[in-house]
Amino acid sequence: MPSTESVFDSETVGVSTLPTTPDRSASCSPALDESTDEHDGASNGTKTTSEADSDIENKFHSKTIRSICCVGAGYVGGPTAAVLALKNPSIKVTVVDRDDRRIRRWNSRHLPIYEPGLTEVVRIARDGLGEVSRVQGSGAIEGLRKPNLFFSADVSRCISEADAVLIAVNTPTKMRGTGKGCATDMTSFEAVAAEVVRHARDGTIIVEKSTVPCRTAQMIQEMIRIQRPGAHFEILSNPEFLAAGTAVQDLLRPDRIIIGSGTTPEGLSAAEALAKVYASWIDRKRIITTNVWSSELAKLVANSMLAQRLSSINSISALCEATGAEINEVSAAIGADTRLGSKFLRAGIGFGGSCFKKDVLSLVYLAESLNLQEVGDYWRQVVEMNEYQRNRFTSRVIKRLNSTLVTKKICILGYAFKKNTSDTREAPALEIIKSLLDENPREIAIFDPCCNPVVIENEIRSLQNYGPPVLSDDGGSVKVYSDAYAACAGSNAILLVTEFDEFLNFPLLSNAASSGVNSQGKSKISPSEVNESAKQHFNDEPECAADCPDCQSGTGYGDSSADNVENSPKKQLDWRRISGEMQSPKWLFDGRCVIDVPKMESLGIRVEAIGSAGWTV
Ligand code: UGA
């Protein structure tokens, strides 16, 4: 079983992410700042005298980054820092987080997040390889590879010791105040940036890793001017493009690295220093340098265009259901056009996850605040189509079940927002469950192969805040199972909500995920690729703390042994057995277009899939 509660709280480090945004926080896009830009559109420094110029030149000219501090031990900061450390054994990489419990988990055998391959990377970089002997008194370490990845809750000290500080904290959507439901909540980012500006050594390179509104670097520069007059920091934008579930592969083989910098010699020099860190494993041709604003905007646009593509194909799936066209056939037909490409064309219940919706909305806010109303309207429709798609799916389920769920058991297979992750943020499952609950079903059973049931229960329990009990333990109708067969037994309908390989009803070898290609079409990494024969030289892992939830539940993912599990074929469900234990008529609603329909129907299960006309008598 992968990660547990703390990860699901927030990615905030250094400060807590508040559920609401305090007044007067810097929560609007810095693009709204009408103050004149003293720089050349990208430069972040103010030169005064030629003496100061040469000081700055010295600080940045031949800068080599020897130590990195990553503020934020969440889904982005943790894996990113781990791979940076893995690929740069001579650089000391420290991940800091004010959440001491989360740091303890990074320093244990049960990491706080689940990502395929991550345990292995952390074991190499954090624990070193080979016999590591500490020479008493001197602190010297010997071995095949010394540890160079550290996790600490001593935020300010680690910031003060670094040549480069990466800010990788959560930037969710504002929940109240100006721009509510649309603008980016910069509370955490602003607080961490202030801490960095306060504690960093003069000359430190500050790197925006979080996804931020365009012109955020200007906000940091302003802080520097006020808090550290006379000090000089270069600010780089270096957005992360990893996706949940494939984070390690994405980091090891990125399509590109974007580094945005000031266009002054110092800015370019800082960009080069960071580029050198990446160049230790990434082809220089893939490292793209831009000005800061282009880089900040590029990240928002990349996510928005991916989301737009999904909303486009999902809108077509509605047409397919009404006409007899098959969405998978349409996707394959258009994806064969090399100008369009085949990725991100799988229709489904709509995108989830912590990024797409918030980033599209951030773009909408940016456009609207610049009085580009039509541009804002255009992008807002991407989010609206996504919600329409999810609601359409739920309505179809209810309609097919004779418009009543009373006395019926509905089983939800998959709760995470996509496969191979324990990340449940903005998972469509929760919204679907909410709609189904309105129909008063006998039971809603949930099973997810990657999420700790306790985590799901905690999320579901939050629905009770304003209404009657929801969880079965509290007298409600929702029950979370740790066994798929028990979840499906006696159900009238199964909803396939996440496309885990375990749920597919055809041999995994024909599935892209098992044939060495991930959802983004990149080759999967194998453990040996992370480090040839590294496993034979693993050092002992640190013990977990007494409050480790994975130790308590005795579950697997995050264990070093789980790497063996994830690299061996997934154990698929026995659908014949499930069919035998369902109530008739047996329904399967495929929300991810991944089920082999004729095969499933041969087991006596009626299938309704997104983008297909559906079951006919
Ligand atoms: C996304 C981007 O893909 C990353 O490049 C980016 O770095 C990340 O956001 C971020 O900003 O942190 P992520 O949300 O983790 O990554 O996962 P995706 O693989 O993009 O999936 C997003 C949603 O789209 C999921 O719910 C997935 O099921 C859905 N999806 C994806 C489809 O419905 N169909 C597809 O063909 C592909």
Let me know whether 478 and 575 are in one domain.
yes
pLDDT digits (tens, 9 = 90+) for 206-223: 999 999 999 999 999 999
Count CA atoms within 13 Å of residue 505 on its CB side.
Answer: 23
State the average pLDDT over residues 421-435.
94
Nearest CA to ligand 1 atom 18: 243
Let me know whether 218 and 330 are in one domain.
no
Let me know whether 352 and 235 are in one domain.
no
The answer as to whether 316 is a domain residue is no
The answer as to whether 292 is a domain residue is no
The answer as to whether 489 is a domain residue is yes
Let me know whether 46 and 118 are in one domain.
yes
| Strand 140-142 to 133-135 pairing | antiparallel
Contact between 9 and 3 under an 8 Å Cβ cutoff? The reply is no
The answer as to whether 88 is a domain residue is yes
**390, pLDDT greater than 50:** yes
Q: According to the model, what pLDDT value does residue 508 have?
A: 79
Q: According to the model, what pLDDT value does residue 571 have?
A: 87
**Final residue of a structural domain among 231, 252, 282:** 282
Domain that holds residue 395: 322-506+570-609
The answer as to whether 78 is a domain residue is yes
Q: What is the DSSP letter of 603?
A: T
Q: According to the model, what pLDDT value does residue 4 have?
A: 30
409 known member of a binding site:
no
Per the listing, tokens 């000089």 go with 232
535 known member of a binding site:
no
State the average pLDDT over residues 269-275.
97
Tokens of 252: 């090891």
Let me know whether 42 and 164 are in one domain.
yes
The answer as to whether 473 is a domain residue is yes
Q: How many domains does the chain have?
A: 2
Ligand 1: nearest atom to the Cα of 592 = 33
Let me know whether 473 and 373 are in one domain.
yes
- Tell me whether residue 548 is one of the annotated catalytic residues: no
Among 70, 158, 355, 544, the one annotated catalytic = 355
101-115, 252-266, 370-384: segment of lowest average pLDDT: 101-115
**Final residue of a structural domain among 282, 306, 331:** 282
Let me know whether 135 and 230 are in one domain.
yes
75 lines ligand 1 (CB under 6 A): no
344 known member of a binding site:
yes
pLDDT digits (tens, 9 = 90+) for 292-340: 999 999 999 999 999 999 999 999 999 999 999 999 999 999 999 999 9
Ligand 1: nearest atom to the Cα of 245 = 15
559 lines ligand 1 (CB under 6 A): no
State the average pLDDT over residues 600-616.
93
Let me know whether 265 and 330 are in one domain.
no
**529, pLDDT greater than 90:** no
Coil, strand or helix: which one is 517? strand
Let me know whether 429 and 328 are in one domain.
yes
Let me know whether 360 and 221 are in one domain.
no
Let me know whether 182 and 241 are in one domain.
yes
The answer as to whether 5 is a domain residue is no
Q: 610 C-alpha vs ligand 1 centroid, how far in Å? A: 18
The answer as to whether 536 is a domain residue is no
The DSSP line for 188-216 is: HHHHHHHHHHHHSPTTPEEEE-S---TTH
Ligand 1: nearest atom to the Cα of 352 = 26
Q: 611 C-alpha vs ligand 1 centroid, how far in Å? A: 20
**18, pLDDT greater than 50:** no
pLDDT digits (tens, 9 = 90+) for 349-376: 999 999 999 999 999 999 999 999 999 9
399 known member of a binding site:
no
Q: 356 C-alpha vs ligand 1 centroid, how far in Å? A: 7
211 lines ligand 1 (CB under 6 A): yes
d(CA 324, CA 322): 6
Q: Which residue in 582, 578, 614 sits closest to 399, CA to CA? A: 614
Tokens of 464: 């009770």
Torsions phi, psi of 517, nearest 5?
-125, 135
Q: According to the model, what pLDDT value does residue 41 have?
A: 38
CATH number at residue 238: 3.40.50.720
The DSSP line for 65-113 is: --EEEEE--STTHHHHHHHHHHH-TTSEEEEE-S-HHHHHHHTSSS-SS
303 lines ligand 1 (CB under 6 A): yes
Contact between 163 and 204 under an 8 Å Cβ cutoff? The reply is yes
Q: 312 C-alpha vs ligand 1 centroid, how far in Å? A: 15
End-to-end Cα, the chain, rounded Å: 41
Let me know whether 245 and 346 are in one domain.
no
